[in-house]
Structure formats: C-alpha cells, structure tokens
Structure 1
C-alpha cells in the first residue's frame, strides 16, 4: 500500500496531526505512516507510525523517506529554529530539496500548511511561506496549499504571545495593527482539516482556513482577558510604532523565542481573512474564538 509521509511531526501542529493520521491509517488498513525526523533517537512515534531519519534543509535521507509515498504533508519551517537569522534561505533550500526528492519518488500529492495572507504581504515570514508553496507546487501533480489564519492552541507561539500580553500588561501602547482583522482558528480545526484533505483528491490548490468570525487583535485581547477572568487591558493606539520597536517590548513580557517574536509581530500588520470558503467537508463548523481560547488555556 502507498505510504504517507508527515514532516514537522515534532512541531505543535504536526505533533497533533501524527496520532490522527496514524489512527486513520490503522483503522482503514492503509499503508504505513512515516514521520520524518532529524533526530529519531529523541522522538516518539504514535502507535501505527514509523520514524525515518532525514533533514529537508540538507536533503539527507529524503529519497529513502519518500520511497513508495503517495501523499506527503509538509509542515516544515525554519523560523526561530536557530542557524542564523536567514530563515527564508533555509526554508527555500528545504522546499527545493523536498520538491525534487518528491518528484523523483513519484509522490502524487503534497499538502502544505502556510499562512492566510494576501499575495502582496509585507511580512517576510508570510512571503517566505508563499515562496515555499510555489516551490513545492512545481514538483507534484496534486498540490494543496492550506492557508490558515492565527492558530489558537496551547502550543501556538502566536497564542502564547497573546496570552502573555493580557496576563502581564494592564496597559500597552500599540500601533495600528491592534485593529487589524483576522479569523483565528482552533488547533483542532486545523488538524481536522489537514486530516480530511488526505483523501480529498478532488481538492487541489488553495484551501483557506479560519474561524467563524473576523476579529481585531484588540477584540481578541478582550475576549482572552474574559476567559482568564482579568480586566481588559488598556490599549493606547499610536500612529507610528515600527515592528522592530513593537517586538522589543513583546520580547520583554512574553515567553516566545526571541527569533520568533519579530516575524510574528511583523505579520500582525496583515489582514488574514477567508476570501473563499474551503470545500464542503473541510472545516465546515469551526469553533468560535472563545471556545478555542478556553481549550488552549486548559492546555489543549
């Protein structure tokens, strides 16, 4: 039976997706689920999955990992993962290596998780995600670009940043991005959509994922404060405050890795709205923001 390869299984989304895919493969007697890991000795696979050693950035092990694979999930990104500040170059190299190896192995379908942004995004982080999508799409006949808004879950860096700001700052000075709208989506809904797309050969191209309603970051802070039983933070909006200055004070009060803060803050300027609903059967009934926040605060 054709195998499935999941990359990024040690990350937050991949770690939630792996047992879901392993359980589905076991229940349907499909081919094995492989998890691509750079350090297999430090990893633990869910029942029904097999760890294979490989590194997309260097290209080591990709040919063997992709041999016999029909569908691959690409959840790799280098932002905040060391190796210097040029995460765009590392992501570009990883996508090129993976795309070439997938084409050589005859992989039919690649499902990639990127960001929900416009084509002219000013954020380097979001532009890099789009570049990775274009690179991967050149190598396989069925490419699915899952574009998700801010993910709400206990292990999401964006949510950790939001929660820390609400918890530690009774008042804050914010630039215009405080009123930027987005459609935050619960981690369970992202994982559910990714799992559903595995067997949806009729779906290719962009799949946009978001929560049920657009919210500004100001509104998200207020709803998060309600869920934490805290006062709404006092927000003073100023006309000029660069992403660099914003990232400095965010670094002081949040537990998010320093290398992640600047790209995340930079991306807050971009509207992340679902312009085209996903196909039926993919994220049909997304959880509202309050429900997603309460689950995240409970550690889910």
Structure 2
C-alpha cells in the first residue's frame, strides 16, 4: 500500500505508544498492521498463534513492530498486552468455530474490552459489517453484537461498518474469484443481483488509522463505502475482466437457496466452508451505506471497484520475499492468480533425540538418487503418472547429493524458500490442477528435535479440490512415515559420528 504522509501527519510524531492490532493472522488484521507499520506507527501485533507470523518477518522489516501472543477467549493471555497502548483494534471473528459461534464472539469482545480498560487504552476500534434494516442472519447479527459488547466497556469505541473490503485474502472476494476462474458458468440464487457498496482495502485502512486518533470519532459508528454500489454479479464480471478471463454467464435459479448454494462451495472455493457459507447467507439483503460523515472527517480519493480489483493483482505480484510458506504467498501459488489464495494442508511430524544439525543433514539429502526415505514406491508411481501425462516426474536430479541451496532443482521440485539449518520449502513441479509446496522443518524441542513435513495445496477450482481430498489421507500416512524415517536416520548418523570420534 502507498505511503500517505498527509494521513500520518494527523498522528502525533512524539507519541511513541504502540497500537495493538488483534487478529493479525487474519485478513483485515494482517493488512491493517502492515499499513500502520508502513506509516511508522509502533504496532503490537497480537495473535492467538503468533508462530504463523514467523514467515513474514515483521520485526525484521519494521523495528517498531512487536509480536505478542494473545487469545481473546483466554483472559489470562491478555494480561499486560495493553499496557502503555494508545489504540486497540478488535479485528477478530469466530466463524471458523462452526454454526454456534455467536457466544464466542460476545465472550471474546467482552474479554478484549476489559483487558483494554485494565491496560489504560485510550480507544478501542472495531471494523464490523453494514447492518441492513431487518437483518437476521447470524453473520450480520454477530458483527453488530460485537460492537455492542465492546461499547459496554469503559473505553470509548469507534466502529466502522462496511460491506466487502476488496483486497487479497478477503473471503468474499476470494469466493467470487475462485468461482469465476474455474467454472464455465455460475448457478446462483437470485440474490446474486443484490447490491452492496464495496470499499478498497487501502481506503479502509486510511479511514481506520485516522479515525483512531480523532477525538470527534470517539464513541461513534460510521458507515464506510466505496464510490460504487454494485450487484455481486457485476463484481464478479469485473473480477473476471481484470483477471483476464471471460466473464461467466450466471443462471439464476429461483428455488436455489443460499443454504443449498453453500453446500457446493467446498467444491468450488478453498475459502473455509464455514466462512463462505456465512457470507453466502448474508447475500439475501441489499446493503447500503451513508458515508457522508466519514468522508467529511477523512477526505480521500476512493478507489472504484475496478481500481480496487486491479490493486489486488498488483499487490500479489509485488509481495516481499518469504523464507517460509505464508497464506496467500504468491510464490507459493506458482505465481498463478488462478490458484486459490487459501491453501489446504496436511502435516506429518516426529520427535527425535537427534540434534537439529543431524536432522538438517538428513532431510536436505531428499530426492535424486537418495529418494524420499519412506514408501518410495508411492513417489515412483506418482512420478510415472506425471510422465505419462507429459510432465517431468521421472526426472531425477540434484546439483549436489548432500547440500541444497535456494533455487536448486530437486527432481521435479524447486527450492523456493530457506532458513538454513531450520527449514526449506520445495515447490511442486508435477502436472496437477493447482500449485503446492512441501516444507520441511527441524525445530529444537527439549533435548531433541521436532521434525515437520507440511504439504500445502492451493487448488485451481473443483478439480484441484477433488485432487486434494483424494490425496489427503495418503499424505498424512506418507508424511508421518517420512518424518519418522528422517529422525531415525539422523539418530543413526549421530551414533556413527560418535563411534568415529
């Protein structure tokens, strides 16, 4: 996103207090945190599983970033996280928890508000959803209840309500992108002609940053919107045009309900089905926004929907270099917009008493004439299948039998990321409907090492999703056996070295 010196001028330069951004492993939290960091604002990035941020290396890129662990459903984990904080952003949802997530949403917001008050925070900030008159879907009601719960606390709350926030990783945007990229035509409920006012991610981040420190915004609720009020059908048409594919015809089926449509989503989109289903349910109503007040307080040029969509593709192409897999990383999707933003994963792990150094020596020998340490017959069968369909699966090659470097080719794989001595990532090179990576890690664990092998698959449409589901159980068996074999070999290597010492 662009630097905005006019905006940052509104934030006092002599105020070094950090801003807490929660939910930073999610879509809005992650993007807002990096936007604030780009403006020079100290950020305390809070996540339930901060290990997920290790690959993006925020503290290395921005010295004014601090990553902390905090779970809003565990009040004890929030103690001390808000001390000395100026603004705290609540950007968390519990839709992945299943159908009955409403109470989790309320509990999390209440715990957050109480912890913010205990820490002396000046402002709590929440980005929720537009609430049409008569809204009764759980997703929309939950967004409203979160804001209401935060306002029950003693810290003043500023809330922005918005429709679709257009950016890479937006669940609503990715559902539409997955559908138009991989289906010859779309079958939809009539709700596809309902309208909403989508807003560009960059515009939303600017609104949030500026309103967070405006005294007149304390205790207020604002609607935010882009310049276009569009149907979902028109949004999908623009996604197709910008993405270089032919816009899809949409068959509107009157008796097709949003619940029926949600059943088929897991065969079309890699977006978690619980989230996608909630979003589909919310399509029943038209969304409107009165953004007069927010535009008066924070004047800016609002990007059109087409410009916002173009910005998605541009941001993906200009992503930084990652040393390990991260969700949505363009290089891990084969630099291919048609491969889903969200990845499916299968992991095997094994603990060994061998040292990380010994494990590293073994696992970096994978491939070539060394083969794959476990059930090589399965690897061979997959290589032959790839060769029969015109791939390079039967190619066995390593530049060096024991040492790997970034950019090395190993059989049909390529080393695309590495943290020497700890982990490396291989890009899948066989023919398949999607793009994937296989990441190995040797993590010190007590008096030994925890070995991880994680396959991440970014499917390209229905065939890509079916391919993943067909391979999921074999992957679990294979990777658990593979990591065990690596550990056993590392133990033998250390024993041999001790004998020769």
Calculate the TM-score normalised by the size of structure 1: 0.90
Moved beyond 4 Å, runs of 4+: none
Higher RCO by CA contacts (8 Å cutoff, separation 6 or greater): 1
Over 3 Å counting, the alpha-carbon distance change for 1:22 and 1:294 in structure 2 is: closer
Measured against aligned partners, the alpha-carbon deviations of 1:244-290 in whole angstroms (never above 9, x if no partner) come to 10112222111211221210111112322212421424363210011
Is residue 16 of structure 2 the alignment partner of residue 16 of structure 1? no
2:58 alignment counterpart: 45
1:29 alignment counterpart: none
**Contact preservation (8 Å) 2:113, 2:124:** no
Larger Rg: 2
Distance 1:283 1:267 in 2: 30
Over 3 Å counting, the alpha-carbon distance change for 1:219 and 1:91 in structure 2 is: same
Q: 1:14 aligns to what SS in structure 2? A: helix
Q: 1:299: how far off?
A: 4.4
Is residue 170 of structure 2 the alignment partner of residue 156 of structure 1? yes
Is residue 45 of structure 2 the alignment partner of residue 35 of structure 1? yes
Q: 1:42: how far off?
A: 3.9
Q: 2:233 aligns to what SS in structure 1? A: helix
Q: 1:5 aligns to what SS in structure 2? A: strand
Q: 1:130 aligns to what SS in structure 2? A: helix
Select which of 79, 88, 91 maps to 2:95. Answer: 79
5+ residue gaps in structure 1? Answer: 27-31
1:213 alignment counterpart: 228
Measured against aligned partners, the alpha-carbon deviations of 1:34-56 in whole angstroms (never above 9, x if no partner) come to 12122334424341111222210
Select which of 122, 134, 138 maps to 1:124. Answer: 138
**Contact preservation (8 Å) 2:18, 2:87:** yes
**Contact preservation (8 Å) 2:81, 2:119:** no
Over 3 Å counting, the alpha-carbon distance change for 1:42 and 1:173 in structure 2 is: closer
Select which of 61, 69, 74 maps to 1:58. Answer: 74
Measured against aligned partners, the alpha-carbon deviations of 1:30-76 in whole angstroms (never above 9, x if no partner) come to xx431212233442434111122221012132121012223111111
State how many pairs are aligned.
293
Distance 2:89 2:248 in 1: 39
Over 3 Å counting, the alpha-carbon distance change for 1:232 and 1:19 in structure 2 is: closer
Deviates more, 1:244-253 or 1:38-47: 38-47
Distance 1:264 1:191 in 2: 22
Map residues 1-300 of structure 1 onto 2, 5 A cutoff: 2-25=17-40, 32-43=42-53, 44-46=57-59, 47=62, 48-80=64-96, 82=97, 84-204=98-218, 205-277=220-292, 278-282=294-298, 284-300=300-316
Q: 1:217: how far off?
A: 0.9
**Contact preservation (8 Å) 2:116, 2:155:** no
**Contact preservation (8 Å) 1:109, 1:140:** no
Distance 2:159 2:133 in 1: 13
5+ residue gaps in structure 2? Answer: 1-15, 317-501
Over 3 Å counting, the alpha-carbon distance change for 1:249 and 1:141 in structure 2 is: same
